[in-house]
Amino acid sequence: MERIIIGSDHAGFTLKEAIKSYLESRGYALTDVGTADTESVDYPDFGCQVAEEVAGGKYAKGILVCGSGVGMAIVANKFPRVRAVLSMDEETARMSRLHNDTNILVLAGRRTDIETARRIADTWLSTAFESGRHQQRLDKISELEKRLCPQS
């Protein structure tokens, strides 16, 4: 099984812990960058750690959790080579992998129950990128990243 990096803020901590345990029980190796409890923290600190490792190629996939999922998705998508998706359902998770080859899954800790999050994660992790006509679209995104961030 593949290695996954995971992180959350205080609002996503409980769901992160549940997803982490679930995925480890299914054989995934997870690296948890925090947070370690429900004490208030700043979500960009943890979103950046996960996104930087995925952008740099150390991990092929990451998972982030915050209260709404919105903040983590914004942070992660600032990084070149990161395609993060905020997913509230299995269909979004599936389509994001099929068509967009997303590499970070973002979950909403205050809006997603544990069972739904497990199904979303399973779907996202088991769905392969279709490539084909979708690859040319990702190539356009890569070209845009090169133009906007030439040093990356």
Q: Which residues are the active-site residues? A: 66, 99
Amino acid found at 100:
N
Buried b (16+ CB within 10 A) or exposed e, 21-52: ebbeeeebebbbbbbeeeeebebbebbbbbbb
* Secondary structure letter of residue 128 according to DSSP: P
Q: Which residues in 12-81 belong to E strands, given as ranges?
A: 29-32, 61-66
Query: Among 107, 112, 113, 101, which Cα is nearest to 87's?
Result: 107
Spatial distance between the Cα atoms of 16 and 39, rounded to a whole number of angstroms: 14
Consecutive H or E run containing 19: helix 13-25
Instruction: Give Cβ neighbours of residue 151 (< 8 Å, ≥ 6 apart).
Output: none
